[in-house]
Amino acid sequence: MPERTCVGCRGKAEQADLVRIVVVDGRFAVDARRRLGGRGAYLHPGCVARARKTRAVQRALRAGAGEPAQLAEVLEALEAPEQARSLGQNGT
């Protein structure tokens, strides 16, 4: 399995354990099937809160310093417990 670095904790994990967030046509999206091209940021589902604090996703995607409302929506969906379970919670 390919390994990727989580932008939240900087830890390495198998790609399958991480969520990939991409920018497509100027909009943030979760690349659930890992088929979208372009720059992506990998994140443990349990590291979403930390990444929001440090704005790691925006930095990884070169999307500027703020948190666009649309990215907030994407990350909030990831933070929802039922969503995190289906994506594989890492225990934090």
Residue ranges that bind Zn ion, judged by CB under 5 A: 6, 8-9, 44, 47
Nearer to Zn ion, 8 or 71 (CB): 8
Would you report the helix, strand and coil content of the chain in percent, each value rounded to 5? 40, 25, 40
Nearer to Zn ion, 32 or 49 (CB): 49
HEC secondary structure over 7-51: CCCCCEEEHHHCEEEEEECCEEEECCCCCCCCCEEEECHHHHHHH
Q: How far is the CB of 39 from Zn ion (least distance, A)?
A: 18
Nearer to Zn ion, 9 or 87 (CB): 9
Q: How far is the CB of 26 from Zn ion (least distance, A)?
A: 26
